């Protein structure tokens, strides 16, 4: 099945609210678990979360690593409003900073983050190499990286089956967005080619669920 791009940003407040209200606890907590599995020595430092959305992963990461300072970036105003409210509710305002930014962001070059994470951003990006170039430019040498996203199914029927399985009880707007995101997602082999094109061929691409891949490695 060919990729069907979707808009880069969730700028509809209703769409952003539906996403923020959804229960993504399973994949989001799995992301934190994967990071801990891959980088057991990581304890503290400045962490960049690219495409933080409503900050659920950002908050989970900050809770898992109480000595870390996490900066979440997103290009959607409505998403950042929800993220700021969530960070305040979590009582993490002293360790989680949120900033409006769209890639490419020249200000990230040479920033020297001690880790870079990202969840469910790549399938929104029209030029995928921009994300990988940003990862390489923003991280210090040797910094751990973890990027997770959806994997495009083999067919429309397979995409609809995943929606029914994982979002069958969700509101229609969320089911629609999940379906469109599956169609817009990249296959693992496409991601591997992107990494080679950015000089990141040493990064690993791992299938971690029936609908997710995970890229990991050190810059």
Task: Print the SS3 string covering 34-68.
Answer: HHHHHCCCCCEEEEEEECCCCCHHHHHHHHHCCEE
DSSP 139: B
pLDDT at 13: 75
Within a 13 Å sphere around the CA of 86, how many CA atoms are in the beta-carbon half? Answer: 23
Tell me the pLDDT tens digit for each residue of 1-49.
999 998 766 667 777 787 767 678 999 999 999 999 999 999 999 999 9
Q: What is the pLDDT of residue 20?
A: 61
d(CA 11, CA 205): 30
User: Would you place residue 109 in the very low, low, confident or very high pLDDT band (cuts 50, 70, 90)?
Assistant: very high
- CA dist 214 → 111, 117, 138 (Å): 24, 11, 19
By DSSP bridging, strand 115-119 and strand 144-150 are: parallel
In this prediction, residue 24 carries a pLDDT of 82
Q: Classify domain 13-151+186-218 by CATH number.
A: 3.40.50.150
Per-residue pLDDT tens over the stretch 191-214: 999 999 999 999 999 999 999 999
160 pLDDT higher than 70? yes
Percent of the chain scored above 90 by pLDDT?
88
pLDDT at 11: 66
Q: Where are the domains of the chain?
A: 13-151+186-218
Check: CB of residue 157 under 8 Å from CB of residue 194: no
SS3 98: strand
Name which of 113, 94, 95 is nearest 105 in CA terms.
113
């Amino acid at each position: 099945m060919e990729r069907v791009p979707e808009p880069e940003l969730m700028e509809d407040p209703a769409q952003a609210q539906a996403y923020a209200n959804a229960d993504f606890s399973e994949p989001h907590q799995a992301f934190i678990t994967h990071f801990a599995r891959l980088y057991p020595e990581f304890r503290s430092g400045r962490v960049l979360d690219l495409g933080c959305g409503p900050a659920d992963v950002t908050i989970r990461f900050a809770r898992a690593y109480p000595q870390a300072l996490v900066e979440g970036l997103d290009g959607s105003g409505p998403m950042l409003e929800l993220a700021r409210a969530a960070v305040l509710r979590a009582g993490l305002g002293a360790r989680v900073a949120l900033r409006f930014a769209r890639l490419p962001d020249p200000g990230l070059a040479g920033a020297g983050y001690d880790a870079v994470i990202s969840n469910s951003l790549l399938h929104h990006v029209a030029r995928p190499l921009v994300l990988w170039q940003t990862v390489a430019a923003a991280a210090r040498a040797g910094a751990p990286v973890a990027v997770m996203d959806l994997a495009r199914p083999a067919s429309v029927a397979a995409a609809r089956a995943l929606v029914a399985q994982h979002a069958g009880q969700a509101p229609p707007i969320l089911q629609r967005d999940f379906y469109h995101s599956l169609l817009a997602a990249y296959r693992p082999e496409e991601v591997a080619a992107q990494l080679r094109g950015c000089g990141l061929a040493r990064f690993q691409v791992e299938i971690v669920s029936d609908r997710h891949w995970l890229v990991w490695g050190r810059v």
